[in-house]
Amino acid sequence: MKNLNIVKVGGNIIESGEDLQAFLDAFAALSAPKILVHGGGKLASQLAERLGIPVKMTNGRRITDAETVEVITMVYGGKVNKSIVAGLQARNCNAIGFSGADGNSIRSIKRPVKDVDFGFVGDVVGVNSELIDKLLSLDITPVFCAITHDGKGQLLNTNADTIACELAIGLSKEYEVTLNYCFEKAGVLLDINDETSVVKEIDTSKYSELLKDQVIADGMLPKLENCFYALKNGVSKVQLGKPQMLQNTTTNFTTLRL
Amino acid sequence: MKNLNIVKVGGNIIESGEDLQAFLDAFAALSAPKILVHGGGKLASQLAERLGIPVKMTNGRRITDAETVEVITMVYGGKVNKSIVAGLQARNCNAIGFSGADGNSIRSIKRPVKDVDFGFVGDVVGVNSELIDKLLSLDITPVFCAITHDGKGQLLNTNADTIACELAIGLSKEYEVTLNYCFEKAGVLLDINDETSVVKEIDTSKYSELLKDQVIADGMLPKLENCFYALKNGVSKVQLGKPQMLQNTTTNFTTLRL
């Protein structure tokens, strides 16, 4: 099977012009086929604030009302996605921007209301891996923003980590997929303030150990759960670290395997 | 040669929810291959106003400063483009949204400063008809917003009529292209207040006659110049009228030929 790199780039990198350019250098240098996934939560919150739209969060998760899904569509699908695509084109990487509606690439359903009404948030139900595979064969690099659709005309807000994970699983039938989470940290850290405390390899038993010892910080927990979910569903390898990880110019990052 | 319909939808249709849905019904019913082109100028002006960004126009043309190109990217590339794409997917039309940066589909250069500095406005220099042709062959319906790129990472504002025209010319080597301008009027009118005064057929000599008699209203002049430019450069036919024109449920529209 051919190799495929799927790279999720974190919010703190996107928000800094300089870091984003350095990341795009690293991503563009990766050999194809490859896919990029991004969010842009803080930039969306900034625009919402300028427009006087209240940002509602519960346990760090955004409540997406009708006005907010419009803001997200403008920021993720417009501003962030198109500037990344233009930046990749300038680096001779033939990028095309996608929301889940484009090419019916990621279908979701509006999250049912239980304790919390998250509003226009979508839980992924299907990835159009056939079409994405065809586009990859044309040497196209898809750039996904964190938006899906319900197939009935409604755009829905979906976590970018989840989108990367679902794309990786969907494409693992055709490809040997490496799922890369690039962010501002060097990986899973034993001490969050010490960049040299990276746990370089985590397998299922090491993961249980880390959980038991409670060394994994709050924000990292859902990310690692996503990673092991991907590994259990066909993804070959997951890596977490700084953009240099993509260029093999550092060994200081975390690799996850079953 | 195979037929290809390229449809530019006007701003007044986009801005009204109801009219847009009716237009999408008509467009989705057109047989493939087909391409949609849209702008969204008034919606961009509305967002600029809410953000306190002054809208600068000269002779009806927008001056696009750095903040404005960002607003345009959010509105054209995000809000309008993604909601059209989701709306077409709901109608079983496999749409993918494009700016000119996506797939390096429309390359432009920043307009040189002469009497007026238009800012981040792009004049089209090339259409990637090879890639667009491949996507059409995959049964994809590209939906273009009025944004191009310079290939060096800069997004540029380009008139949607011009984009439709340049796409039509670029694809006329491979296809028998009909270029359709859909708007709120029934076509070229002899009396702007009388919808039954449509000039049904305009060829080069009829056009000279209409120009001489000064019956063509101001806004229509650059549009018709675009149309004849397209016809002289390989496009088979140009049509102007209401969305019903696409469905052949009316004969009340304008057809232009050389």
Chain A residues lying within 8 Å of B142, measured CB to CB:
none
Q: How far apart are CA A50 and CA A43, in angstroms?
A: 11
B188/chain A closest Cα distance in angstroms: 33
What's the pLDDT score for residue A227? 95
How big is the CA angle at A187 (ends A181 and A189), to the nearest 5 degrees?
145
- Helix (H) or strand (E) holding A179, with range, is strand A175-182
More confident residue, A193 or B169: B169
What percent of chain A is modeled with pLDDT above 90? 85
Cβ(A223)–Cβ(A161) under 8 Å? yes
Q: Is the pTM of this model over 0.80?
A: yes
Cβ(B242)–Cβ(B185) under 8 Å? yes
Asked if the C-beta of A158 comes within 8 angstroms of chain B's C-beta atoms, the answer is no
Cβ(B25)–Cβ(B49) under 8 Å? no
Structure-token pair, residue A24: 């795009």
ipTM confidence score: 0.96
How many pairs of residues across A and B have Cβ atoms under 8 Å apart?
Answer: 124
What's the pLDDT score for residue B61? 77
What's the pLDDT score for residue A11? 87
Chain B residues lying within 8 Å of A155, measured CB to CB:
82-83, 86
Asked if the C-beta of A137 comes within 8 angstroms of chain B's C-beta atoms, the answer is no
Has residue A219 got a pLDDT over 80?
Answer: no
Computed over every residue of chain A, the mean pLDDT equals 95
Mean local confidence (pLDDT), B142-146: 98
Has residue A217 got a pLDDT over 80?
Answer: no
User: pLDDT band at residue B197, thresholds of 50, 70 and 90?
Assistant: very high
Has residue A222 got a pLDDT over 90?
Answer: no
Nearest to B153 among A87, A102, A104 (CB): A87
What's the pLDDT score for residue A71? 97
Mean local confidence (pLDDT), B177-199: 93
Mean local confidence (pLDDT), B57-85: 93
Asked if the C-beta of B173 comes within 8 angstroms of chain A's C-beta atoms, the answer is no
Domains and CATH numbers, chain A: 2-185+243-248 (3.40.1160.10)
User: pLDDT band at residue B57, thresholds of 50, 70 and 90?
Assistant: confident
A64 secondary structure, DSSP code: B
Asked if the C-beta of B139 comes within 8 angstroms of chain A's C-beta atoms, the answer is no
Structure-token pair, residue A25: 């250098």
Has residue B218 got a pLDDT over 80?
Answer: no
Contact A76 B75 (CB under 8 A): no
Q: Which residues pair with A155 in a beta bridge?
A: A149
Cβ(B85)–Cβ(B141) under 8 Å? no
How big is the CA angle at B78 (ends B129 and B7), to the nearest 5 degrees?
45
Chain B residues lying within 8 Å of A83, measured CB to CB:
73, 153, 155
Of A53, A49, A40, A64, nearest to A116 by C-alpha is: A64
Mean local confidence (pLDDT), A152-170: 97
What's the pLDDT score for residue A206? 94
Nearest to A153 among B87, B102, B151 (CB): B87
Of A83, A95, A78, nearest to A35 by C-alpha is: A95
Q: Which residues pair with A94 in a beta bridge?
A: none
Cβ(A73)–Cβ(B40) under 8 Å? no
Q: How far apart are CA B156 and CA B171, in angstroms?
A: 22
Has residue B66 got a pLDDT over 90?
Answer: yes
Has residue B222 got a pLDDT over 90?
Answer: no
Of A148, A67, A87, A154, nearest to B149 by C-alpha is: A87
What's the pLDDT score for residue A5? 98
Computed over every residue of chain B, the mean pLDDT equals 95
Has residue B88 got a pLDDT over 90?
Answer: yes
A68-82, A239-253, B146-160: least confidently modelled range: A239-253
Mean local confidence (pLDDT), B39-43: 92
Has residue A223 got a pLDDT over 90?
Answer: no
A20/chain B closest Cα distance in angstroms: 13
Cβ(B128)–Cβ(B136) under 8 Å? no
What's the pLDDT score for residue A240? 97
What percent of chain B is modeled with pLDDT above 90? 85
Cβ(B79)–Cβ(A74) under 8 Å? yes
User: pLDDT band at residue B248, thresholds of 50, 70 and 90?
Assistant: confident
Asked if the C-beta of A138 comes within 8 angstroms of chain B's C-beta atoms, the answer is yes
Contact A138 B134 (CB under 8 A): yes
The b-or-e profile of A90-122 (16+ CB within 10 A means b, else e) is beebbbbbbbbbbbbbbbbbbbeeeeeebbbbb
DSSP chain B: -EEEEEEEEPHHHHHSHHHHHHHHHHHHHSPSSEEEEE--HHHHHHHHHHTTPPP-EETTEE-B-HHHHHHHIIIIIIIIHHHHHHHHHTTT--EEEE-TTGGG-EEEEEPPPSSS--BSBEEEEEE-HHHHHHHHHTT-EEEEESEEE-SSS-EEE--HHHHHHHHHHHHTTTEEEEEEEE-SSSSSBSSTT-TT-B--EE-HHHHHHHHHTT-S-TTHHHHHHHHHHHHHTT--EEEEE-GGGGGTS---SEEE--
At a CB cut-off of 8 Å and minimum separation 6, what does B173 contact? B129, B234
